[in-house]
Structure 1
Amino acid sequence: MKQEKSMLSDTSLPLTDQQNSKESVKGSGEFILISTPIGNLSDFSLRAKQTLEEADILLCEDTRVTAKLLAAYGISIRMESVHEHNELQRTTQIISMLQQGKIIALVSDAGTPLLSDPGYRLTKAIIEANIPLTAIPGANAALTALTLSGLPPHPYMFVGFPPPKSQARQNGFTTLKAAERAGLKATLIWHEAPHRLVDMLKDLALIFGNDRSAAVARELTKKFEEVQRNTLHELIEHFTNTPPRGEITVLLGPPPDRDEITEDDLDQQLQTALQTLSVKDAASLVATAIHLPKKIVYQRALELSKNK
């Protein structure tokens, strides 16, 4: 308890002391990653607000989006756009401003910067330039969804956005399935666009099996927040009948303790793959996913295709 109290006192300095501390480092410049709300504007922290009021420049993905947050909190600061298309070109200029003593903050449109958002290459360059760097934590959709999912919270792996095309998605999922065969046992987390959700769930079911436990979190922290927890099969049925809207996070539970492949499992995955792929491609995909010899899987795929 004594340690907790001392930590609290360190982070509860009067505002004047915080300002003096900020002024003491301003001569050397500082880069600050600031988390922003993922939907509910009230989730913006007091420390984040104070930091933006003292910073010289705010880098953001879309100035129109960030302007709404600044207006809600009465913050006036010079904004500049940094996104995936200009991040590399802006890096040298931004480092120069930091070396001149500027305090520069970076936000993404929503949530924690760098996670599925621009800024990593810039941040890495700033670290290599030995410029002071810190972060102000806050909202994060992936971790919020994980805590609400009912799936094991650790270990977990955040994978970002899956590829938009089905074949590329399946290839990525197959790699993860192979990692599970090698011992990976973690809850997997992705973000996804609503119009691609059902197709993504179908690809997950193809590679990981219809009965795998999963969850879909939607509109987190907002009025219509929803978390659907079920098997992949049931989630596909639900979102096929009820098209999703809003920001979406998909979570896949870890494999069961015993993940042995039965003949029924093999047939089920092959039949699903054969709906859209040739016998050769279906056999190759499923063989990689379930870690069986391609020759055996190909023979079974031939038999199933003849019985259609």
Structure 2
Amino acid sequence: MNIQRSYGKHESGTLYLVPTPIGNLDDMTFRAVKTLQAADLIASEDTRNTQKLLNHFEINVPQKSFHEHNYRERIPELIRLLKEGQMIAQVSDAGMPSISDPGQELVAACIAENIPVVSLPGATAGMTALIASGLSPQPFYFYGFLQRKKSQQKKELEQLKNQTATMIFYESPHRVKETLKNVEQVLGARQVVICRELTKLYEEYIRGDVQEVIDYVSEHPLKGECCLLISGFNGEVAEEIVEGTMKEQVEQLIEEGLSSKEAIKEVAKRNQVKKQEVYKLFHDL
């Protein structure tokens, strides 16, 4: 059990999780700027990217890289500095640390060492997109990035098939079309929204059913990072699309191994008619 009282006297320093703008620098909060100015060190996902932010706000604090490729060796070093009483601010390239970005491992290490962790509120793409999407904002389910491989992505979507909450994903503009095709195949005709270039000059919301959006992005290739939102399962199973006359449907099912009685029953169910009607059509009565 761990109880943290964030403000007051501590034997160690404090780790501050500082959100950064997802596009528009005006979204930086006063508190975030003050926290970075007061820090002894800034742990940055990409020091070159963060330096642009620091220059904009005239913040002169040293940085140390902290990303998915070096976090294992960095964490002991940062924990040591925090135990010595230093105040460290951690930032990702955009938005909230730990959300599809490095940070969670450092937070866990600090908690294990009874080092206070303070999170600042601020910009995050998922919530920004959700409240203007037109889809139900609650409940929502944040997923982040899907797997890139088609088979793995389909497997993930299968697990989400009965999720009733609005689902939020991050996706590359180069992969979003193929992802939407997988969504249609696995989840069916859902309402989807693509939010592109959030908070920037070319911000765009593309709303519609999944096939409409697939058609649109096929003709209008997207640029910029995308947030993909998908409506949740509403409890209704989509009607199966059936082709051919009811007699032809019965014949097809018989070819697939059903008895004529089973096939007639199944076709009646599919077409929402009485079995006797299908029986008469099949036997030309």
TM-score range for the pair, normalised by the shorter chain length: 0.7 to 0.9
Task: Give the 3-state SS of the residue equivalent to 2:192 in structure 1.
Answer: strand
**In structure 1, what is the Cα distance between the partners aligned to 2:242 and 2:29?**
49
**In structure 2, what is the Cα distance between the partners aligned to 1:60 and 1:203?**
35
2:182 paired residue number: 203
Judging by fraction of residues, say which structure has more helix.
Answer: 1
1:131 maps to a residue whose letter is I
1:90-239 matched pairs, under 5 angstroms: 90-177=74-161, 180=162, 184-209=163-188, 211-239=189-217
What do the CA deviations read for 1:63-97 (whole angstroms, capped 9, x no partner)? Answer: 11101100110001010001111111111111111
Q: So what's the TM-score if we normalise by structure 2?
A: 0.81
1:79 maps to a residue whose letter is Q
Alignment RMSD, CA only? Answer: 2.0
Q: So what's the TM-score if we normalise by structure 1?
A: 0.75
Identity %: 41
**In structure 2, what is the Cα distance between the partners aligned to 1:116 and 1:208?**
24
1:193 maps to a residue whose letter is S
**In structure 2, what is the Cα distance between the partners aligned to 1:217 and 1:148?**
9
User: Does the alignment pair 1:242 with 2:225?
Assistant: no
**In structure 2, what is the Cα distance between the partners aligned to 1:25 and 1:216?**
46
Unaligned stretches of 5+ residues in structure 2: 1-5, 244-265, 267-285
Task: Say whether the 8 Å CA contact 1:88–1:122 is kept in structure 2.
Answer: no
Task: Give the 3-state SS of the residue equivalent to 2:160 in structure 1.
Answer: helix
Unaligned stretches of 5+ residues in structure 1: 1-20, 267-295, 297-308
1:263 paired residue number: 240
CA shift, 1:205, in A, is 0.6
What do the CA deviations read for 1:238-272 (whole angstroms, capped 9, x no partner)? Answer: 0010000001000001122x422433189xxxxxx
**In structure 2, what is the Cα distance between the partners aligned to 1:199 and 1:54?**
45
**In structure 1, what is the Cα distance between the partners aligned to 2:242 and 2:210?**
15
Task: Say whether the 8 Å CA contact 1:39–1:222 is kept in structure 2.
Answer: yes
